[in-house]
Amino acid sequence: MTTDSDPNHTPATDGVPDGFVRHTRSSPLTAPWEPLYAKTTADAVMLGLRLRECHTNSRGLAHGGLITALADNAMGYSCGLKLGGGARLLTASLAIDFIGPAGIGQWLQIEPEVVKVGGKLCVAQCFVTADGVRCARANGTFSVVRAKA
């Protein structure tokens, strides 16, 4: 559930690319960053947002913590998608490299790829782009926690 009730934030006004819809899985961490958008394919859950001042550091660039958290979420959601549901995922390791800036007004998009799905671990990687230009890459390993029968 999203918590942003600002009617000014719609896919049309935020310049959201085709296929993205409002993300419905809010958390206390991501709620202040709303509106977030998601695009689900057969292989991945991509996340995106239009960068605003509340997403930036003191230099006016997207904060590394924002990028890292969204990359973690997108990779975890994508692993869950590939597992077919019924499992919870916990981040076991996460690494990120920042390779370029992302500024206010740009469309930030996280594009994950699931590398390996296993019974105990799932591995994913992603590229993060700002208006289509790579600004970060990340990889994560997630522990698979199955629901008890």
The Cα 115–Cα 143 span in angstroms is 14
Question: For the structural domain made of 21-145, what CATH number should be given?
Answer: 3.10.129.10
pTM reported for the whole predicted model: 0.89
| Residue 15 confidence (pLDDT) | 86
Q: Rg of the chain over CA atoms, in angstroms?
A: 15
Return all residues near 18 (Cβ < 8 A) that are at least 6 apart: none
Position 1 confidence tier, pLDDT thresholds 50, 70, 90: very low
| Residue 9 confidence (pLDDT) | 58
The Cα 109–Cα 44 span in angstroms is 13
User: Where in the chain are the domains?
Assistant: 21-145
The H-or-E segment that residue 121 falls in is strand 121-130
